[in-house]
Structure 1
Amino acid sequence: MQIHHTGYAPDSVAVIGSGSKVDGMLQKRLQRAGFRVQLLNADELDQLRSGAIVVNAICLGGSETMDGALQACRTLAASETGPLVHISSYRVFPGGTRKRYDEDDEPAPNSEQGEMWLACEEALRGRAGVTTLRFGWLVDRNEQALLGRILAGILSGKSLELDDQSRGSPVTLTDLCRVVVAVVQQLASGALQSGTYHYGAADACTAYEFGREVLERAQSFYDEDFGVALSPLPEAENHSAVLASEKLRDVFGIQQRSWRQGLTRQVELWLERLGSTK
C-alpha cells in the first residue's frame, strides 16, 4: 500500500475537546490537511501520543465546563508533547473601550467567565511551545449564542432589542477552524512562533448591526415579511472588545475574513435546525 507523506513533522495532532460542535469540525479539517488526529476529552489525556501537536479546544464548551477545562490545562502544562495550540477568548479583557486590544495589552477580566479563560491561559504559561489564540465572540456556537437567539426570536415573531453600543470581532466556527489549522500546519512545518495572537473578523460590529444582517438573510428564504422589528437596546452600556489581528497576519500570514462571509448558509442551517415552518 502506498503511504502518502505530507512532510509534516510531527504529522500527529491531538484535539482536546469538550463535546461541542467545534471538536468534530477541527478533527475533519485537520484530517483533510493530512494529519493523523486523535480526538480526546479531559479524561483521556494519558492517551496523548508522544510528540504530537496538541490543539486545546476544551474551553469552547462553555461556562459549565470551565472547571474541568482548568484542570485539563494544568495537566497539559506538565505533559511531554509537541507544540500546544491553546484556544482562548477576548473575554480576558474588560471591554468598554473603543480602542482595539492587541497582544501587549494586559488582561483584566471583569466577569467570572473571563477570569476562568485567563486562569486557563495562566495555567499553561510556564510550558514551553504554547501558542495561544484569542478569538472574538463566536456567532454560531449554540442556541444561547447571538445568532441562535436572534433567529429564535425572529421565528417566534418577537421584536428584538439588541446592543448597539458594544462593538466586537465576530468569528464563525468555520473561520476559527481555518485559523487553527493554518497555525498547526506551520508549526508542523518547522515554525517556532509560540506566543499569544489575536483573531477577529475584518469588520467589527455591534449586536444590533449583526442582527439586522441576520434578519435580511433570513428574510431572503421567504416570500412574506417576518413582521419583526429590530431596535437598539436603550441605555446599553459600552462593553466593546475589538481585537487587533495584525500580529497573526504578520507572523503566520493569516488574513482576516468578514463575518458576513458564509452568513447566508449559516442562517439557512440554523433555520432548519430550529424547525422553521413559516
Structure 2
Amino acid sequence: MKVLVIGGSGQTGHRLCEILRQNEIEFLAPARSELDIADAQALHDILNEFQPSMVVNCSGYRSLSRAEQEPSLCFAINRDAIAALADLCHAMGMILIHLSSYLVFDGSKSEPYTEEDEPNPQGVLACSIWQGEQQIRDRCPRHIILRVGWVISARRENMVNRTLTALRLHKPITVASDKLGNPTPAENVAKVFMTILYQLDCDAQVFGTYHYAGVEAVSESKFNEVIYNEASQFEDLPINCIKVVETEQLERLRARRNDRLANRKILRTFGIHAKPWRTGLVRIMKKLYEQGS
C-alpha cells in the first residue's frame, strides 16, 4: 500500500497521516504550498512521481459563509479540481477516496439520511460539494466517497473552536433547538479511512458512497451546552451567552433541521461501528487546553 494524502494539514488529513506513520505505511502528504489541488499539472506531476496505489482527498473549500461571496473559487476547488483528480486517478490506475459532507442534503428529511436518499444541495458550498461527488462517479469508477457529519477536532475551524472563541469574547451564540446532527470527531473519521484502505489493499470490491457519523444525534443547542460544560472545567466562562432559537429564526443557509446521517451501509460493508462523540469531545477539549487554546 502506498498512499497520497491531499489535505494532510486539515482536521481529518492530519490525523490520518499520524495513523499511517504509526502503522509504517508509505505515504506522502504534500503541504498546500507544495501542491495546489486546483493546479492540474501539479497534480499530474506528483501522482506520476510518487505513484501511489491510493489517493485520499481530505482537502476542500469548507467555508459556508464565504462561498456565497466567492463562488468561482469554491467551485474551482470542490468541483473542477476534483474532476481533474478523478481523471488522473482513473488514467493512472489509482483508487480515489474522497471526503464529502452531509451538506449535499437539504436537511428537510425527518429521519437520518441514507446513501439511497437523493441529494438536494442548497447554496454555493453544498452545490459545489455535490457536483464534486458527481465528477468522481462519472470519471473514476474505482472510488470511495465518504460523507461525514459535524466534524470536530482540536485543529482548524469547527463548531467546538467557534463556540469557545465566541464565549471568550463574550459574543452571543445563536443556536437552534430543533437542528439535529451527529458530531463526528476527525480522529474517528481518520480511523474509518484506515479500515477502508486496508480492505481496498486486499482487493475488496467495495467501491461507492458511504456515510459515517458519530453515535447519538444531538441538537445544535444541546451540543453547544455540552461544549460549554466541558470548557467550564478548565476556565471561567460568561453565562447567558448561548441564545437558543428555532431554525426559522436562523439565516437561510443555516436553517436546516436535519444533518443526521445513517451508518448502516458502512457497518454492513466494512464492519465499521460508529463511535460515541462524547468521549471524542472530552479528548478534544483536553487537547485544546493543553495547547493553550
TM over 0.5: yes
Q: Indicate the SS of the match to 1:243.
A: coil
Equivalent position to 2:200, from 187, 198, 217: 187
Post-superposition offset of 1:230: 3.0
Amino acid at match of 1:145: N
Instruction: Give secondary structure in 1 for the equivalent of 2:151.
Output: coil
2:84 is the alignment partner of 1:84: no
Q: Which segments of 5 or more consecutive residues in structure 1 lack a partner in the other structure?
A: 1-10
Alpha-carbon contact 1:99-1:242 (below 8 Å) kept: yes
Identity of counterpart residues, as a percentage?
A: 25
Indicate which of 71, 74, 92 corresponds to 2:80.
71
Q: Tell me the CA shift for residue 274 of structure 1.
A: 6.5
Task: Provide the residue aligned with 1:115 in structure 2.
Answer: 127
Q: Which has the higher helix share?
A: 2
Deviation of 1:23 after TM superposition, in Å, equals 3.0
Q: Give the match for residue 185 of structure 2.
A: 172
Per-residue deviation at 1:96?
2.3
**CA offsets per residue over residues 60-80 of structure 1, 9 Å max, x none?**
654565522423211222221
Q: What amino acid sits opposite 2:276 in the alignment?
A: S
Q: Secondary structure at the match of 1:29?
A: helix
**Which shows bigger deviation, 204-213 or 135-144?**
135-144
Which structure 2 residues correspond to residues 83-162 of structure 1 after superposition, within 5 A?
83-126=95-138, 127-140=140-153, 144-162=157-175
* Residues 1:262 and 2:276 aligned together: no
Is the partner of 1:31 in helix, strand or coil? helix
1:225 deviation in Å? 6.1
Select the residue among 14, 18, 41 that pairs with 1:24. Answer: 14
Aligned 8 A contact 1:139 1:146 in 2 = yes
Matched residue count:
264
Query: Displacement, 1:259?
Result: 1.3
TM-score by length of structure 2 reads 0.81
Tell me how far 1:262 sits from its aligned partner. Answer: 2.4
Q: CA 1:75–1:154 in structure 2 vs 1: closer, same or farther (change >3 Å)?
A: same
Matched residue, 1:233: 245
- The Cα of 1:123 is off from its aligned counterpart by 0.8
Q: CA offsets per residue over residues 205-239 of structure 1, 9 Å max, x none?
A: 111110111111111124x5643453412554543
Equivalent residue of 2:107, what SS? coil
Corresponding residue for residue 59 of structure 2: 58
Q: Secondary structure at the match of 2:137?
A: coil
Q: Which residue of 2 aligns with 1:45?
A: 43
Given that 2:149 and 2:181 are in contact with CA atoms closer than 8 Å, whether structure 1 keeps it comes out as: yes
Residue ranges of structure 2 left out of the alignment (5+ in a row) = 68-72, 250-254
Q: CA–CA distance in 2 between the matches of 1:262 and 1:13?
A: 26
3-state DSSP class of the match of 2:99? strand
Give the C-alpha shift of residue 171 in structure 1: 1.1
Report how far residue 180 of structure 1 moved: 1.1
Q: Tell me the CA shift for residue 261 of structure 1.
A: 1.5
Pairwise CA distance, 1:57:
1.4
Contact 1:53/1:81 (8 A) holds in 2: no
- Displacement, 1:50? 3.4
Task: Deviation per CA, 1:141-186: give whole Å up to 9, x if none.
Answer: 7665321121112223345331111101221111111111111111
Cα-Cα RMSD = 2.4
Could you say if the C-alpha distance between residues 104 and 260 of structure 1 is closer, same or farther in structure 2, counting changes exceeding 3 Å?
same
What CA distance in whole angstroms lies between the structure 2 residues aligned with 1:189 and 1:216? 44
